[in-house]
Chains A and B, each alone.
Chain A
């Protein structure tokens, strides 16, 4: 089998999220070095706070301030930190029940003495980030608090109001992939690089797919028989683009059309040029124009042949 094409692909998606009243108070509190929880219907103090009761789902709003020291309820040693995690050197993931809270918060524990120094039940304290913006990462991490004893008593009520509260959060995310178009599209792209267009025929309905995706979407069976189509084809329908796309070095107006290459069972799309935009028409015969080193046709231009009769392409619209 031919080598299948692959390419690195990065997907980045910064989501801007509204915080709502409870998370706004919690994250603004972190900016101000204050840790807030919320009192649930059964009296338990939930940290990080939620807007809704974890058991009854009723709306809860009674905020309290909890301690900045707490007890590790479970831990895991992360010997090889990944991108984006709180510490770049080996650390322990911990669930920490802060003094006054009844649930635990996930974060990193900086434990320079290694996994043997970490135990469930150990006391830890918040290490604040130098620069705080109103995010969970305003807690840089936790650090061991040896000889510390838990604070007793209930946490005190807190209004949750701060000057200049944060109301939204931009969650940046980046994921890295190695993209492969699969075998069928690799065959197509490799042929295209040699300025040939190869579709694939469905063994059942005999339709020739261009570009092929490996399966006939009508019959649900694999395609495999390669069929060279074109190079010329017929404009089946088109539109005139009047708005310049960002980063696209093409003067408007231009024509973008559906082009049924000769022998293809469906139309592909491409730019039609070499003719004034207002003279492009259904049935126009066109051929691909390749640029030096290009893996795709740059555009399609008229062949000069007479227009195709509507009957020859009406099933390909």
Chain B
């Protein structure tokens, strides 16, 4: 318990860890996949589970078909003596939101947030149909790739993008992922012209427009005020965060725009007058065309590096991919590569629900002087390499 209530700017990401995302984590149970990530993130802070005030996780039983899988995942936390714990059945970015609110109330000084998804054991595009309206959508079994293709077609028809621009987004993402040992689709990247020669998967989407199907996990530690400064020399302060939702039926929305993202960004303070420019945007756009929608909604200009981690087009562990965006944005700040960053997470079909977080450093960016991280950053990645496959699902 804190003795004084922190102000809204006083919660920071102090540590971030993620798995080496892969098409399939062969033979690992969910907790076996999650455990090293939890050890990593706690190790960065030097905190034990018993020293964490609040724990919140995000996952979905539908992915691996295991009822109450989140209770099994708690085995990896070490939940005895009993801990204060909560769970959301959606991406871990929303678990982070809950933890952030908890810290803002003054009820906790530290929080552990984690999420995980093992999509490899099911048929992900089919599984995701079960999140749809059970009366008018789910009985038709519209897979997630097809729904994203409807959105891409709407953007192409509106001349908001072109197939060449979409291929360019894919090529840029893959090139960016070359430096990210956690990414699944890595290595030498064909240019946009080469990618455009591919056949359609679900017209107008080609393989490069789709994210890979991934197994993976991620974890973040949040802390307030002085505690955050004690745990890391370079906290990534959460200046604002909000999430908004749109109508469930894709036919009731203008799929070329994202008013929920725009509104969440406004409430998160992204457009505040006098705020410094946004150096980095980590966008949860599993499909290339969705990046076009989000850039517009967030009013991102040429000065903002979009998905320097490679983004969800290069690793998309469902339920963790949104939390990873926040973690990656925070890591850029912790490494001194960015002063102000925006992270975005999405849920539902065609960017139905969107979360926006604005993160800032204490001081000015230091021209990549700390690039690659240092031990005291508390945000060091491990150096392992994982070869991956191209896009095939969500």
- Enumerate chain A interface residues (CB-CB to B < 8 A): 1, 3-4, 9, 11, 15, 17, 19, 23, 27, 46-48, 50, 54, 73-79, 82-86, 93, 95-97, 103-108, 115, 120, 135-137, 169, 171, 173, 175-186, 213-222
Contact = CB atoms under 8 A, between A and B. Distances in A.
B252 interface: yes
Interface stretch (B137-145, B304-312, B328-336, B382-390): B137-145
Contacts of B368: none
A97 to B, nearest CB: 8
Given A95-B150, A182-B29, A220 B140 contact: no
The 5 A-B pairs at the shortest CB distance, nearest first, are namely A220-B78, A182-B29, A4-B27, A76-B149, A104-B251
A136 B136 contact: yes
A180 B136 contact: no
Contacts of B127: 175
Nearest to B252: A103
A213 B121 contact: no
B289 to A, nearest CB: 11
Given A171-B134, A220-B38, A220-B75, A85 B29 contact: no
A107 B249 CA distance: 12
Given A77-B203, A177-B64, A216 B78 contact: yes
Contacts of B27: 1, 3-4, 180, 182-183, 186
B278 interface: no
Interface centre among B136, B143, B154, B200 (most CB of A within 10 A): B136
Contacts of B139: 84, 135-137, 171
Contacts of A17: 134-135
**Chain B interface mostly:** helix
**Chain A interface mostly:** mixed
B136 to A, nearest CB: 4
10 contacts: A9-B65, A76-B204, A82-B141, A173-B130, A175-B65, A179-B65, A184-B32, A213-B31, A214-B29, A214-B75
A175 B123 contact: yes
Contact of A176 (B122, B157, B202): B122
A215 B49 CA distance: 14
A178 B66 CA distance: 11
B136 A48 contact: yes
Contacts of B66: 179
B146 interface: yes
Given A106-B140, A120-B157, A179-B65, A184 B255 contact: no
A222 B40 CA distance: 13
Contacts of B157: 74, 120
B76 interface: yes
Given A82-B126, A171-B134, A177 B29 contact: no
Interface in B112-162: 121-123, 125-127, 130, 134-143, 146-147, 149-154, 157
Contact of B75 (A78, A83, A107, A213): A213
A72 to B, nearest CB: 10
A222 to B, nearest CB: 6
A217 B140 contact: no
A19 B252 contact: no
B78 A177 contact: no
A214 B123 CA distance: 25
A115 B72 CA distance: 46
Given A76-B205, A120-B157, A173-B130, 15 more contacts: A48-B249, A77-B149, A93-B149, A93-B150, A103-B252, A106-B137, A106-B142, A106-B249, A106-B251, A175-B130, A182-B31, A183-B32, A185-B29, A218-B79, A219-B78
A182 B134 contact: no
B39 interface: yes
B150 A177 contact: no
A4 to B, nearest CB: 3
A115 B150 contact: no
B324 interface: no
Given A76-B150, A182-B28, A136 B140 contact: yes
A179 B251 contact: no
Contacts of A169: 134-135
Interface in B28-74: 28-32, 35-36, 38-39, 49, 62, 64-66, 72, 74
Interface string B231-266: 000000000000000010111100100000000000
A133 to B, nearest CB: 11
Contacts of A108: 140
Given A48-B135, A115-B203, A221 B78 contact: yes
A221 B26 contact: no
A177 B121 contact: yes
A95 B135 contact: no
Nearest to A213: B75
A220 B29 contact: no
